[in-house]
Amino acid sequence: MTDYRIGIDVGGTNTDAVVMNSDDDLLAKTKTPTTEDITTGILNALDVVLDDSGVSEEELEYVMLGTTHATNAITERRGLNEVGVIRIGAPATQSIRPLLEWPDDLADAIGNNVAILDGGHEFDGRTLNNIDEEEIREQVREFADVDAFAVTSVFSPVRDDHEKRVTEIIREEIGDDVPISVSNEIGSVGLLERENATALNAALTNVAEEAATAFVDAMDERGIDANLYFGQNDGTLMSVDYAIRYPIFTVASGPSNSVRGAAYLSEVENGIIVDVGGTTTDVGAVTEGFPRESSVAVEIGEVKTNFRMPDIIAIGIGGGSIVDTEGEVTVGPQSVGYKLTEKAKCFGGDVLTATDLEVAAGTIDIGPETPDVDQSTVEAAREYVRERVEREVDRMKTSAEPVPVVIVGGGSILVPDEIEGASEVYKPDHYEVANAVGVAIAQVSGEVDRIYSLDEMSREEAIQSAKDEATDNALAAGADEDSVDIVDVEEVPLSYLPGNAVRIKVKAAGALDH
Amino acid sequence: MTVEIGVEEIEDIALGATVLGTGGGGDPHVGKLVAKQAIEEFGPVELVHPDELSDDAFVVPTAQMGAPTVSVEKLPSGQEAVDSLERIERELDQEVDATMPIECGGINSTFPFAVAARRGLPVVDADGMGRAFPELHHETFNIYGVSGTPAAVSDERGNTCLIETEDNEQLEWLARGVTVRMGGVAYVSDYPMTGTQVKDTAIPGTMTLARNLGRELRVAEDDAMDAIRDVTRSSIYGEAQSLFEGKIVDVQRRTEHGFVFGHVDVDGLGRDEGSSMRIEFQNENLGAQVDGEYVATVPDLITVLDRETGGPIPTESLRYGARVRVLGIKTPEIMRTPAALDVWGPHSFGLETTYKPLEG
C-alpha cells in the first residue's frame, strides 16, 4: 500500500508536518522549530509524524512542501542570481528604465544589468518595432557573465515572437544551461510589474534549485520514493522541475495553504480566515474553498508585481507579540519572534508576551514558568486583540451580512470565541497545523495556452477544446477524474492574425488520485 | 520666486495629485517615474507662477491621453510630447517659453515635468482643470475662450498629427481617433497660448498646492486631515472640511463608453452615527449626499481618505468595510462661474441637482 501523503510547511518560526491517508484523515501532526539549514527541520518533523502515525517510508505516495525560501531570499537579498534584464520595446518605453523603482540594494543584489532594445508589439498584435538581431547578439555577449536572463517584450501576453527569438539568440550565444525567464509565462499586461516579476523569477532560480535539491536529498536520505511537489500561489501543486523554473510562483503559497487548510478543517467554504502566527495575524477570505484574490498590485520585497495573489491583511499580533502595560494595554506589533522560548516570561525570560498572558490565565500550559499577571491586564489585552481582529474581519467582508470566521494557527488561543460580525466562530481540530494540512490537500493542475482560429470553429468549441485539453493535462499530472474542475479561463483576441484568432489560456485542477 | 522641482518634489506632487484627483485622474505612478528619470538625466525643472510670465510669453501645455490599459504596457519613449510641442513651435513659428499641465489631479500632473526637463523649459505653476476631469474640453482654457488648436498628437515612432478644428469638442473627438490609430495611447500638445491668456484662464498655484499636500501628507502620519486643512487654508481653494466619517457599506460600479460609473454608500460613525452618505462617481467623484440631500457636487473637490492611514483612496480601490473620512474642498471662483458650470457643473454629468457650492 502506498496510500499516504505528508504535507510539510516551513515557516519562519516553525516547521509543521502532517500525515494524511487517502480519505484525507489526519493521522499525525507536529510542530518543530525551523532550522537554519531548513533540511534538518524538515527531517525532524518528518521523523516525528512517521513515528507517531506508524506509517512507513515505503507507504508514502506523495510529499508536498510549502516553503517561503523564495520570499525570504528576496527580503534578505540572499543567494540571488546576477540577472541580465533585457527589455524589447525601443523606441517606446525608454522613459522608464528597468529596475528604476527597485530599492537600490535589491537592484545591486541582482547586478543592475539592464538593456532596452528595439522591438515589441501593439495591443492588437501589430508590430511596434522590428527586432535587430545583431543588437540583441551584442547585448547578450555583453551580459555573458550573468547567472540568468529575464526577457520582457512589450505586449508579449498578446504576441510572444520577440521573446521567443531573444531566447533562441541567448541559447545560441551562451548555451543551453543558462536559466532564461520570459515574461509572457510569468505575468499579464502591465510592463513594469511583469518585468519586475520576471527579473525576480530569474534572480531566484539558483535559490530554488538549492531548496529543491535539499528537499529531494532529504527524501532520498530517508529512503522515501514518493512523488514530490511544491505548493504554489494559487493553492495548487507544482512539480520539482517546475518549481526550479518558476520560483516566483511559490512566494504566496503560505497564505494560500493556510486559507485552504482552514477551509478544509472547518468545512467552511465561504467565510473569513484568521491565521494567528508568532509575529503576525493574517486575515484572508475563502470563496468556494479557494483564497479570494487581491485586486490591487502586490509588492514583493518592495517591488510592484501584478500576480494574482491571495487578498490578505496582516496585523502585528501573534503569540510572540510584546505586551505593553504602560498606560493603556497594547499587544504588538513588536514581537520576540522565534526567540519566544528564550525571551518570554513563561520560558524564564523577561519579556511579557501575548503567550504569557494566556499561560497566566491558565488557558494554555507552555514553558516551565507561570508568569504573575493580574486578571485586569489579561482582560484588557484580550479586548485589544478582539477589537483589532474584528476590524480587519469586517474589512475583509464584502457585505454587512454575518459570515463564518475560522481561527487557525499556533496563536489561535489569543482570539476570543465571539467576534462581532461573525455568524459563527470556528476553531477546528488541528488548527495549529492548518498550513501543512493546506499543502497536503492541495490540488494538481493542468494548463493550456494556445491560439485558436475562430474561422475554423466557434468560440464555444475553441474554449471547450482548451478545457478538455487542460483537463487531460491535469489527469496526466495525477488528478482524480471526478474532482477535476476548470479554475481559470482567460481569452485574448488577437486581431493582428488573419482568421479571427484568439489566445485562450485555461487551467484545470483536481485532487490527487489515490 | 522660482522653485526647483527635483526628484523628491515629483514624489510629493504625485501624492498630492491623488488628493486633487478626487478618486480618478489615473494612477500617477507611470507619470511620476517618467518625470523622475528625466530629472535624474537632465536636471531639475524650474516652476514659475503665471504672474512671472511676460504677457507675450508662449506657453504650450502637454499631456498623455488614451487607454489606461495600454499606457501601463507601452510606456513612452519620452520624446513623444517633445515632438508634439516642437510641431506646434514650427506651425506657429515661435519658440515655446514654458509648458504647463492640463490637469493637476492624477497622471498628467507630473508628465509635463519630463517634457520640461528634456527641453530645458520651465513648468507653469497652474493647470486648466483645477482637479481631474475626463475629457480635453473640460478646461478653463476652453471655457474662457482659448482655442485648443493647432494641436499636435505624437507617438513613440516619431509620427505626429497636426489637428486644426472649429471648436474644442471637435479637437477631443479627432484626437481620440488619432490616439487609437497610434496604438491606444498618445501624447498631445494643445491650447497654445500667450502669457496673458495663461493669467486670464489658468487656475494658478496648483502645482505648488499638489506639492505642499504631498509633502505634508508624507510627514503627517496620523494627522492627514490637519495637514490637508493647513495646506488648503493658505491656498486659493477653501480650507478642506470633513463632510462625513463612516464605514463603506456598499459599492456599485459599471463600465460604459470607457468610463466607470457608480456610487458608494457610507454609514456614519462618531459624530455622523445614524446618518448615511452616498457618493456618485464617473471616474472622479461627482456628488455627495447626506441622508438624500446633496452637500457637495462637481466642480468642488470630494475626496475619500482612509480614516486610519489618511491616504486618499482612488475610486477603483473603494470597498466594503473601509473606514473613511470624506473631504470637501471649495474650488476657486474661476472654476465655479456660470460659464464653467455649463461645462462641468452637476448637470453636465447627469446629476439631478443644482450646484451646491461648498463654503469655507
CATH number at residue B77: 3.40.1610.10
Lowest mean pLDDT among A156-165, A219-228, A497-506, B145-154: A497-506
Looking at residues B266-274, what average pLDDT do you find? 92
Instruction: Mark whether B196 and B245 lie in a shared domain.
Output: no
Looking at residues B224-241, what average pLDDT do you find? 92
Question: Is the per-residue pLDDT at B164 higher than 90?
Answer: yes
- Nearest CB to A122; choose among B76, B114, B183: B183
Closest Cα of chain B to A511: distance in Å? 33
ipTM value for the complex:
0.88
Give the count of beta carbons closer than 10 Å to the beta carbon of residue B219. Answer: 8
Please answer yes or no on whether A100 and B320 come within 8 Å at the CB atom: no
pLDDT band (50, 70, 90) for residue A316: confident
Question: Is the per-residue pLDDT at A307 higher than 90?
Answer: no
Looking at residues B163-190, what average pLDDT do you find? 92
Judge whether A251 and A238 are in contact, CB under 8 Å.
no
Looking at residues B298-316, what average pLDDT do you find? 87
Most confident of A108-117, A341-350, A443-452, B68-77: A108-117
Whether chain B has a CB inside 8 Å of the CB on A78: the answer is no
Please answer yes or no on whether A100 and B33 come within 8 Å at the CB atom: yes
Cα–chain center distance at B315 = 15
Instruction: Mark whether B254 and B166 lie in a shared domain.
Output: no
pLDDT band (50, 70, 90) for residue B12: very high
- Quick check: is B354 in a domain? no
Please answer yes or no on whether B75 and A399 come within 8 Å at the CB atom: no
Please work out, in degrees rounded to the nearest 5, the angle formed at the alpha carbon of residue A436 by the alpha carbons of A435 and A442: 90
Residue at a domain's end among B186, B204, B222 = B204
Question: Is the per-residue pLDDT at A469 higher than 80?
Answer: yes
Cα separations in angstroms, A370 against A317, A344, A382:
21, 11, 18
What does the pLDDT look like over A103-146, one tens digit per residue?
999 999 999 999 999 999 998 888 999 999 999 999 999 999 99
Q: Which of A96, A160, A405 to mutate to test the interface with B (most CBs of B within 10 A)?
A: A96
Instruction: Mark whether B134 and B274 lie in a shared domain.
Output: no
- Quick check: is B315 in a domain? yes
Looking at residues B198-213, what average pLDDT do you find? 96
Question: Is the per-residue pLDDT at A254 higher than 70?
Answer: yes
pLDDT band (50, 70, 90) for residue A495: low
Q: Residue A494: what pLDDT?
A: 66
Question: Is the per-residue pLDDT at A496 higher than 70?
Answer: no
3-state class of B289 per DSSP? strand
Q: Look at A488 and B32; give whichever has higher pLDDT.
A: B32
pLDDT band (50, 70, 90) for residue B335: very high
Nearest CA in chain B to A116: B77
Torsion angle in degrees (nearest 10) through CA of A469, A471, A473, A477: -170
Nearest CA in chain B to A94: B77
Looking at residues B211-222, what average pLDDT do you find? 86
| Domain CATH for B263 | 2.40.390.10
Please answer yes or no on whether A95 and B36 come within 8 Å at the CB atom: no
Question: What stretch of H or E contains A46?
Answer: helix A39-53
Half-sphere exposure of A283 (CA within 13 A, CB side): 18
Instruction: Mark whether B197 and B247 lie in a shared domain.
Output: no
Please answer yes or no on whether A190 and B73 come within 8 Å at the CB atom: yes
Question: Is the per-residue pLDDT at A255 higher than 60?
Answer: yes
Instruction: Mark whether B44 and B114 lie in a shared domain.
Output: yes
Q: Residue A448: what pLDDT?
A: 85
- What is the distance between the alpha carbons of residues B213 and B282, in angstroms, rounded to a whole number? 24
Looking at residues A43-55, what average pLDDT do you find? 94
Instruction: Mark whether B271 and B328 lie in a shared domain.
Output: yes
Please answer yes or no on whether A397 and B321 come within 8 Å at the CB atom: yes
Q: Residue A490: what pLDDT?
A: 77
Question: What stretch of H or E contains A273?
Answer: strand A271-276
Q: Which of A93, A94, A95, A121 to mutate to test the interface with B (most CBs of B within 10 A)?
A: A95
- Quick check: is B216 in a domain? no
Half-sphere exposure of A204 (CA within 13 A, CB side): 31
Whether chain B has a CB inside 8 Å of the CB on A387: the answer is no
Q: Residue A336: what pLDDT?
A: 84
Q: Residue A306: what pLDDT?
A: 73
Instruction: Mark whether B157 and B281 lie in a shared domain.
Output: no
pLDDT band (50, 70, 90) for residue B264: very high
Q: Residue A105: what pLDDT?
A: 93
Q: Residue B33: what pLDDT?
A: 95
| Residue found by looking up cell 520640461 in the block | B116
- Nearest CB to A399; choose among B79, B114, B320: B320
Instruction: Mark whether B169 and B245 lie in a shared domain.
Output: no
Looking at residues A78-89, what average pLDDT do you find? 96
Question: Is the per-residue pLDDT at B90 higher than 80?
Answer: yes
Q: Look at A491 and A230; give whichever has higher pLDDT.
A: A230
Instruction: Mark whether B198 and B301 lie in a shared domain.
Output: no
- Quick check: is B335 in a domain? yes
Cα–chain center distance at B262 = 20
Looking at residues A420-444, what average pLDDT do you find? 93
Residue at a domain's end among B158, B183, B204 = B204
Q: Look at B92 and A34; give whichever has higher pLDDT.
A: B92
What does the pLDDT look like over A172-214, one tens digit per residue?
999 999 999 999 988 888 899 999 999 999 999 999 998 899 8
- What is the distance between the alpha carbons of residues B111 and A475, in angstroms, rounded to a whole number? 51
Chains A, B: CB contacts within 8 A come to: 91
Q: Residue B222: what pLDDT?
A: 66
What does the pLDDT look like over A149-167, one tens digit per residue?
999 999 998 889 999 999 9
Q: What is the DSSP letter of A121?
A: B
Instruction: Calculate the average pLDDT of chain B.
Output: 92
Please answer yes or no on whether A122 and B33 come within 8 Å at the CB atom: no
Q: Look at B224 and B355; give whichever has higher pLDDT.
A: B355
Whether chain B has a CB inside 8 Å of the CB on A100: the answer is yes
If we measure between CA atoms, which residue out of A116, A195, A206 comes closest to residue A157? A195
Instruction: Mark whether B189 and B277 lie in a shared domain.
Output: no
Q: Residue A339: what pLDDT?
A: 79
- Nearest CB to B75; choose among A92, A101, A189: A92
Kindly list the strands in the beta sheet with B185-189, ordered across the sheet, starting from the edge strand earlier in the chain. Answer: B62-66, B185-189, B151-154, B160-163
- Quick check: is B53 in a domain? yes
Please answer yes or no on whether B74 and A101 come within 8 Å at the CB atom: no
Please answer yes or no on whether A123 and B34 come within 8 Å at the CB atom: no
Please answer yes or no on whether A95 and B157 come within 8 Å at the CB atom: no
What does the pLDDT look like over A53-77, one tens digit per residue?
999 999 999 999 998 788 888 888 8
Instruction: Calculate the average pLDDT of chain A.
Output: 89
Measure the N-to-C terminal CA separation of chain B; round to a whole number of Å: 28
Instruction: Mark whether B166 and B284 lie in a shared domain.
Output: no
The total domain count for chain B is 2
Nearest CA in chain B to A120: B74
Q: What is the DSSP letter of B316?
A: G
What does the pLDDT look like over A213-236, one tens digit per residue?
988 998 998 899 999 999 988 788
Measure the N-to-C terminal CA separation of chain A; round to a whole number of Å: 11
Looking at residues A386-401, what average pLDDT do you find? 86
Question: Is the per-residue pLDDT at B325 higher than 80?
Answer: yes
Please answer yes or no on whether B74 and A191 come within 8 Å at the CB atom: yes
Cα separations in angstroms, B238 against A330, B138, B358:
39, 21, 8
Question: Is the per-residue pLDDT at B285 higher than 90?
Answer: yes
User: Contacts of residue A123 in chain B, CB cutoff 8 Å?
Assistant: 67, 69-70, 73-74, 183-184
pLDDT band (50, 70, 90) for residue A360: very high
Each domain of chain A, given as residue ranges in start order, spans: 83-208, 313-434, 443-510
pLDDT band (50, 70, 90) for residue A407: very high
Which structural domain, as residue segments, surrounds residue B341? 240-349
Please answer yes or no on whether B78 and A94 come within 8 Å at the CB atom: yes
What does the pLDDT look like over A266-285, one tens digit per residue?
999 999 999 998 888 999 99
Percentage with pLDDT > 90 across chain A: 54
Question: Is the per-residue pLDDT at A338 higher than 80?
Answer: no
- Quick check: is B209 in a domain? no
Nearest CA in chain B to A295: B317
- Nearest CB to B70; choose among A91, A123, A126: A123
Q: Residue B221: what pLDDT?
A: 65
Cα separations in angstroms, A322 against A212, A350, A375, A376, A458:
36, 11, 17, 17, 62
Between 3.90.550, 3.40.50, 2.40.128, 1.25.40, what CATH number should domain A83-208 receive?
3.40.50
Question: Is the per-residue pLDDT at A1 higher than 60?
Answer: no
